[in-house]
Chains A and B, each alone.
Chain A
């Protein structure tokens, strides 16, 4: 069974940074693309970033390009999202998602809440 456990969320002020982590188990992490998806309160799902199994193929949504950095450590079965220059509009639940079963077939963690407010 795929298990994804996010951590690192919290309350920060505009302009500050946070690093989210997602610990994975129950599947072959080193063979799976990994993604971050966010959901603002009361809003829909928005894809944020992706990293392919070997750390290549990194992509970002336009809204976070240049501010967020995705990375992974296949030895630790963990994916990260470094978020710099946070803005109020970045306030959301951040979900880690894995696609071990195929492109776009996401299994999800429970999410970690990021609140950006002064």
Chain B
């Protein structure tokens, strides 16, 4: 039950794009198309941004997109806005459990 690996931080200027990676194994990310991404602002509950690798829930801007290749999933935020500054976590179904990523703090410069 090891955490998925994410870079601790990422940054970009308003209007730019930032991509966050999420690396697991064939037992989680690589084995299932059940990767999700969550945004968390300080003091707030997480919010679902992407599910099943690349699907967006209703109300999530299309600036947010997800993909997966092998054991690594990615979240791309295009056209960065100030309100995108937050912590982002990936997660993956792993059969007998769910595993979260280590988290990435996105800073809008």
Residues of A within 8 A of B (CB): 35, 37, 44-47, 50, 59-62, 95, 101-111
If over half of B's interface residues share one DSSP class (helix, strand or loop), that class is named, otherwise mixed; here it is strand
The answer to whether A50 and B98 have CB atoms under 8 Å apart is: yes
The answer to whether B91 and A106 have CB atoms under 8 Å apart is: yes
Bound-state CA distance A52–B66 (Å) is: 26
The answer to whether A46 and B100 have CB atoms under 8 Å apart is: yes
The residue that A44 contacts in the complex, of B35, B48, B97, B100, with Cβ under 8 A, is B100
The residue that A35 contacts in the complex, of B40, B52, B98, with Cβ under 8 A, is B98
Residues of B within 8 A of A (CB): 1, 3, 32, 34-36, 38, 40, 45-48, 51-52, 57, 89, 91-93, 96-103
Measured CB to CB, the closest approach of chain B to A64, in angstroms, equals 11
- In the complex, 23 of the A-B residue pairs with CB atoms within 8 angstroms, ordered by the A residue number, are A44-B100, A45-B40, A45-B46, A45-B91, A45-B103, A46-B3, A47-B99, A59-B97, A61-B97, A62-B1, A102-B51, A103-B34, A103-B52, A103-B93, A104-B35, A104-B93, A105-B48, A106-B48, A106-B91, A108-B45, A108-B48, A109-B45, A110-B45
